[in-house]
Amino acid sequence: MTSLEAALRAVRASGRTALVPYLMAGATPDWTRHVEAAVHAGADAVEIGLPFSDPVMDGVVIQEAAGRSLAAGTTLDSVCSELATLDVDVPLVAMTYYNVVHHYGLDRAADAFARASLRGAIIPDLPPEEASPWTQSCTVHDVATVYLVAPSSPPERVALLARATQGFAYGAARMAVTGHASDLGDARRVVAALRAVSDIPVYVGIGITTPAQARDAAQFADGVIVGSALVSRLLDGASTSHVEDFIGDFRRALDEADERTAAEGPRHST
Amino acid sequence: MSDEFMGPPDERGHFGDFGGRFVPEALMPACLELEAAYRDARADASFARALERELALFAGRPTPVTPLERFSRRVGLRVFAKREDLAHTGSHKINNVLGQALLAQRMGKRRVIAETGAGQHGVATATAAARLGLACTVFMGEVDTRRQELNVFRMELLGATVVSVTSGSRTLKDAVNEALREWVTCVADTHYCIGSVMGPHPFPWMVREFQSVIGREAARQLRDLGVDAPDVVVACVGGGSNAAGVFAGFADGPSRLVGVEAAGGSAVGVGAPGVLHGMRSLLIQDEFGQIEEAESISAGLDYPGIGPEHAYLAARGRADYVTAHDDEVVTALQVLSEDEGIIPALETAHAVAWLLREAGHSVAYGSSVLLNLSGRGDKDVAQVRAILRGAS
């Protein structure tokens, strides 16, 4: 089992719904302080975006963040060296596109991720059918390969992805690119499909915009991923204390849900 | 070894090290469904008949092969032009869109979306959609909507909605990104009609197969003109659909196959292996793997990649990929117009420019040459006028 998965299973075993904020590395000069602020406010893991010129799975907010980050000269090396200065006690997970690691060299990239405490990688344009060169390198360096499962995934693909994913399964709440949304879309159905075939932690993301949505998701998911809602604030110049307040609101909403669940008895075995 | 070229890719869509299927999970089921539907249609004679009927009665096929007599005397070669400029909408693009639109209809999709650079594929898609009663949305970079204003209006006249793409560099590659993003949200009832031999499997294979009508017809027509196998087959290459279509008729034989890229968009010349838009191919990228802009006088060749099968043909040495510069392209357009009464598209003029440069050099005098005249230049006359007046 990857160290990421062990850590995230432990979070679930403690009765806590995981909170996973997403930040785009390099989109603002003080992004590493924002990572620390998010952890301080109760994040259980942080997704670190490595910018790519052509992010097909991302909506306008994260596209804008990637554009700013690239304009500021961000590279895989610069992200990894800045992360090395961080002192946070939760796992970090990279989110990028395949060409970034493909061009860098798969083994070198997995090694660089591991050295920067990036213990997993989400590469949305790399399906399991094409992933074996990358996963071989990741296995050597204990970097988990995290797959998304979509509302359109038929049962046989849900099973394939559940077997292949490591750390957690990323349940896409809707047929959409990253962005804002006013409901949880198909998240409940996607999580149920994964639960039917796997006991790996299942997190939901894509369009999680408010603490109330996170609280609702906590009723059926093991974690929530908050991306564009946070990134849009960072692009607007949010300070570290804003980040703490914003993430803190999500944390409190999840804690309330977890307390209610605890009162009702155990939700899901580990 | 010749018959191993331009067959089907492997079961996951690889041509050697290139191709494959690199798309978000949300699109994987759609790509698998499309592949199954295409395999089913290929095996169904009624689909082939329906497509042949549309190509003949609607698109005007077969297009002729024209001996270019005055141009041939100028360059000292025997040059024959496959006249895709005479196909409906003015280029080879119609061959592919009719195939995909019929397939979309067969799959029960009610809508098609497409990307376009210069507007040729967008116009062709809007045309096929109108013909078959499908709704149509075309994504076009904002920069290109301004450069090709008339094509935007053409698509609108044909009943299509044109979305001006303001992300990234606002050109063709961003139009592809935006079409992919849109497809994620509407994949249940919408087919993405990709315009070239690019994208995730099965697109590069399927689009080549739909375009291979060019090569099949040309091989037969050349035989009728007494040329069994031309010494050279030359075509311009952006993504590479017209080149793939004409090469497919000659890959089994001894002809030298030549693809001419824009000097500012040479994926084979300066690109490196990478993954973009669902495929592993040769891509123009910086030292960090960020995709760079292609720069060309012709919007149709303004693409930082090349179809994966071309990357494979290049790697195996079966086809040569060369470049032409913007200035020699404009000259070539003028020469062909004056010599033959054919105004070629700027894209096509790249292949003409290469012949003007290489005749008597890498192409021996007296050689027989098949030039794929992929499109007509009407769309480019305002731009060429501006260039020539600026130069004088």
Across chain A, what does the average pLDDT equal? 96
Q: Do A104 and B289 touch (CB under 8 A)?
A: yes
The pairing of beta strand B78-83 with beta strand B65-67: antiparallel
Count the neighbouring beta carbons within 10 Å of the beta carbon of residue A83: 22
Q: How close are the terminal C-alpha atoms of chain B, in Å?
A: 51
The pLDDT, as a whole number, for residue B147 is 82
HEC letters along chain B:
CHHHCCCCCCCCCEECCEEEEECCHHHHHHHHHHHHHHHHHHCCHHHHHHHHHHHHHCCCCCCCEEECHHHHHHHCCEEEEEEHHHCHHHECHHHHHHHHHHHHHHCCCCEEEEEECCCHHHHHHHHHHHHHCCEEEEEEEHHHHHHCHHHHHHHHHCCCEEEEECCCCCCHHHHHHHHHHHHHHHCCCEEECCCCCCCCCCHHHHHHHHHCHHHHHHHHHHHHCCCCCCCEEEEECCCCHHHHHHHCCCCCCCCEEEEEEEHHHCHHHHCEEEEECEEEEEECECCCCCECCCCCCCHHHCCCECCHHHHHHHHHCCEEEEEECHHHHHHHHHHHHHHHCCCECHHHHHHHHHHHHHECCCECCCCEEEEEECEECHHHHHHHHHHHHHHC
- ipTM for the complex? 0.95
Q: Do B29 and A129 touch (CB under 8 A)?
A: no
Closest residue by Cα to residue B261 from B321, B333, B172 = B321
Task: Measure CA B143 to chain center.
Answer: 21
Q: Tell me whether A148 touches chain B (CB under 8 Å).
A: yes
Whole-structure pTM value = 0.97
Q: Quick one: average pLDDT of A54-69?
A: 97
Clarify whether A58 is annotated catalytic: yes
DSSP label at residue A19: E
Q: Which tens digit of pLDDT belongs to each residue from A89-136? A: 999 999 999 999 999 999 999 999 999 999 999 999 999 999 999 999
Phi-psi region of A167 (alpha: psi -120 to 50; beta: other; left: phi over 0): left
Q: Nearest-CA distance from A153 to chain B in Å?
A: 6
The pLDDT, as a whole number, for residue A267 is 55
Point out the catalytic residue in the list B35, B84, B115, B209. B115
Clarify whether B217 is annotated catalytic: no
DSSP label at residue A207: B
Q: Tell me whether A59 touches chain B (CB under 8 Å).
A: yes
CATH assignment of A3-147+223-255, among 3.20.20.70, 3.40.50.360, 3.40.50.2000, 3.30.450.40: 3.20.20.70
Q: How close are the terminal C-alpha atoms of chain A, in Å?
A: 14
The pLDDT, as a whole number, for residue A73 is 98
Sites in chain B below the pLDDT cut of 70: 1-3, 391-392
Residues of B near A (CB-CB distance < 8 A)?
12, 20-26, 28-30, 167-168, 173-174, 177, 180-181, 184-188, 272-278, 280, 283, 285, 288-291
CA A82, CA B338: separation in Å to the nearest integer?
62
- Whether B173 and B277 have beta carbons less than 8 Å apart is answered as yes
Q: Which tens digit of pLDDT belongs to each residue from B64-78? A: 999 999 999 999 999
CA B290, CA B271: separation in Å to the nearest integer?
12
Point out the catalytic residue in the list B54, B72, B82, B93. B93
CA A69, CA A244: separation in Å to the nearest integer?
22
CA A165, CA A149: separation in Å to the nearest integer?
10
Closest-CA residue of chain B to A150: B26
CA B260, CA A48: separation in Å to the nearest integer?
41
Q: What is the largest CA-CA distance in chain B?
A: 57
CA A136, CA B327: separation in Å to the nearest integer?
48
State the amino acid at position B94 in one-letter form. Answer: I
Closest-CA residue of chain A to B186: A175
Closest-CA residue of chain B to A60: B167
Rg (CA), chain A: 17
Q: Do B289 and A56 touch (CB under 8 A)?
A: no
The pLDDT, as a whole number, for residue B229 is 96
User: Exposed e or buried b for every residue in A111-122, given b needs 16+ CB within 10 A?
Assistant: bbbbebbbbbbb
Structure token pair of residue B86: 């005479």
Clarify whether A47 is annotated catalytic: yes
The pairing of beta strand A46-49 with beta strand A18-24: parallel
Structure token pair of residue A50: 């490595």
What backbone torsions phi and psi does residue B159 show, to the nearest 5 degrees? Answer: 95, 5
- Whether A2 and A167 have beta carbons less than 8 Å apart is answered as yes
Q: Tell me whether A126 touches chain B (CB under 8 Å).
A: yes
Q: Which tens digit of pLDDT belongs to each residue from A165-208? A: 999 999 999 999 999 999 999 999 999 999 999 999 999 999 99
CA B213, CA B149: separation in Å to the nearest integer?
31
Point out the catalytic residue in the list A58, A186, A216, A222. A58
Q: Do A102 and B273 touch (CB under 8 A)?
A: yes
Q: For tokens 């296995």, what's the residue?
A: A139
State the amino acid at position B143 in one-letter form. Answer: V
pLDDT at A232 over 60: yes
The pLDDT, as a whole number, for residue B1 is 36
State the amino acid at position A29 in one-letter form. Answer: P
pLDDT at A269 over 70: no
CA B291, CA B199: separation in Å to the nearest integer?
15
The pLDDT, as a whole number, for residue B238 is 94
Ordered structural domains, chain B, with CATH: 2-54+93-206 (3.40.50.1100), 60-91+212-391 (3.40.50.1100)
DSSP label at residue A253: H
Nearest to A102 among B30, B174, B275 (CB): B275
DSSP label at residue A42: T
pLDDT at A268 over 90: no
| Integer CA distances (angstroms), A249 to A204, A209, A233, in order | 18, 12, 14
Q: Tell me whether A124 touches chain B (CB under 8 Å).
A: yes
Q: Do B21 and A129 touch (CB under 8 A)?
A: yes
Residues 6+ apart with CB under 8 A from A215: A253, A254, A256, A257
Q: Do B28 and A127 touch (CB under 8 A)?
A: yes
